[in-house]
Amino acid sequence: MANLKEVKGRIQSVTSTQQITKAMKMVAAAKLRRAQDNITQMRPYAQKLTTMLQNLSSQEGDAEQSQFSEVRAIEKVLIMVVTSDKGLCGAFNSNVFKAVNRHIKENYQTQFDKGNVTILTIGKKARDYFEKRDYNVISDYWDMFSPVSFEKSTEASEYAMARFTEGKYDRVDLIYNEFKNVATQIMRVEQYLPVLPPEKDADSKFQVDYIYQPSREEIVKDLIPKSLKIQVYKAILDSNAAEHGARMTAMDQATDNAGELLKELRLTYNRTRQAAITKEILEIVAGAEALG
C-alpha cells in the first residue's frame, strides 16, 4: 500500500490539474460564443452565394465557360486541410488526419503513389503532422487563426485558384470540421475546384433565372472568385468554432475524470491513514502488555 506522503502528493497534483482544466473549459466557452456567432452569421450568406455560383456555372449556351468550371482528367490533386493550431481538443485533429488519409486511399491512391497529391495545410497541427510524413506539403498558409480574418484566408484560396487555372492541379478538395453544436463536429470533404453544378431535382418544375446587370460574363467573372474565397473563409470559421466546442467538451470530461480520480485517491488516503493509526495503536498496546 502506498504511503501517506505519496498519496497526498498525487491528490495535490490532480487537484491542480483539475483547476487548470476547469479554467481552460471556461476560456474555451468564452471563445466559442464569439466563434459561433461568426459562423452563424456567415453561413446563410455563404450558402446562398454558393447556390448562385452553381446555378450560373451550370447554365448552357454561354460562349465563355468559366475557367474555374473546367473539368480535366485528374492527374495532380491539391487537398486543403483545416485543423487547429493547438491541441487539448480531443480527437478534433486526429479525425481530420484520418479523413485525409481515407480520402486519398479511396480516390487518389494512384496519384499519391506518383507523388501528385499535395497538401495545403491551414493550422499548425496539420503542418506538423504532414511534414513529418511522406506528403508533399505547402505550409505557407498555416497561420490563419491568430486571429481569423478574411484577408488571411484569401491568400490560401487565391493560391489554389491560381494554380488550378494554370493547370498545375486538376482537382482541389477541401477537408475540415463543420460546427454543429458544442459536442458535435461534422467532417466535411468537399470538392473545391472545379466548381460543381447544382444537383438537379427531377421533381422541381422551376428553373432558376437571373436578370443580369451589367452582363452575365462580367458578373460570373467577379462572383466565382469571390464565392470561392468565401467558401474557404467559411470553412476556417467552421473549424474555429468546432475546435473551441471540442476543447470545451474535452476539458469538461477531463475535469470530471479528475474529480473521479480524486475520490479514489482520497479513499486510498483515508484507508492508508487508518491502517497507519491502527498499526500504531497495536504497537502501543503490545508495548504496554510487555511492560505489564
Helix 150-166 vs helix 216-291: angle between axes, to the nearest 10 degrees?
120
Block residue for cell numbers 459562423: 39
Does the structure show a pLDDT above 70 at 2? no
Helix 4-58 vs helix 216-291: angle between axes, to the nearest 10 degrees?
170
Q: Cα(196)–Cα(190) distance, rounded to whole angstroms? A: 10
* Proportion of the chain above pLDDT 70, given as a percent: 91
> If you write DSSP's letter for every residue of the chain in order, what string do you get?
---HHHHHHHHHHHHHHHHHHHHHHHHHHHHHHHHHHHHHHHHHHHHHHHHHHHHHHH----SS--TTS------SEEEEEE--SS--STTHHHHHHHHHHHHHHHH-HHHHHTT-EEEEEESHHHHHHHHTTT-EEE-TT----TT--HHHHHHHHHHHHHHHHHTS-SEEEEEEEEEEETTEEEEEEEEEESPPPPPP-TT---------SS-HHHHHHHHHHHHHHHHHHHHHHHHHHHHHHHHHHHHHHHHHHHHHHHHHHHHHHHHHHHHHHHHHHHHHHHHHHHH-
Q: Cα(47)–Cα(60) distance, rounded to whole angstroms? A: 22
Structure-block grid coordinates of residue 285: 498496546
171-181 β-sheet, strand order = 136-138, 117-122, 77-82, 171-181, 184-193
* Domain 24-198+208-250 grouped into CATH 3.30.70.100: no
Q: Cα(292)–Cα(290) distance, rounded to whole angstroms? A: 5
Does the structure show a pLDDT above 90 at 215? no
Model confidence pLDDT, tens digit, residues 251-289? 999 999 999 999 999 999 998 888 888 888 888 888 888
Task: With CA atoms as reference, report the closest residue to 257 among 21, 27, 9, 30.
Answer: 21
Model confidence pLDDT, tens digit, residues 140-178? 999 899 889 999 999 999 999 999 999 999 999 999 999
Residues facing residue 244 across a β-bridge: none
Domain ranges of the chain: 4-21+251-291, 24-198+208-250
Residue 199 to residues 55, 210, 235, 286, Cα–Cα distance (Å) = 10, 18, 21, 89
Those residues with Cβ within 8 angstroms of residue 144's Cβ, 6 or more apart along the chain or in another chain: 122, 123, 152, 153, 156, 236
Does the structure show a pLDDT above 70 at 205? no
Q: Which of 137-146, 188-197, 215-224 has the lowest mean pLDDT?
A: 215-224
Does the structure show a pLDDT above 60 at 63? no
Evaluate whether 88 touches 247 at the Cβ level (below 8 Å). Answer: yes
- Select the more confidently predicted residue: 149 or 219: 149
Work out the average pLDDT over 86-104: 95
Evaluate whether 77 touches 168 at the Cβ level (below 8 Å). Answer: no
Q: How confident is the model at residue 191 (pLDDT cuts 50, 70, 90)?
A: very high
Block residue for cell numbers 431535382: 201
Work out the average pLDDT over 1-26: 90
State residue 62's pLDDT score: 47
Model confidence pLDDT, tens digit, residues 103-132? 999 999 999 999 999 999 999 999 999 999
Evaluate whether 121 touches 130 at the Cβ level (below 8 Å). Answer: yes
Does the structure show a pLDDT above 90 at 53? no
Does the structure show a pLDDT above 80 at 58? no
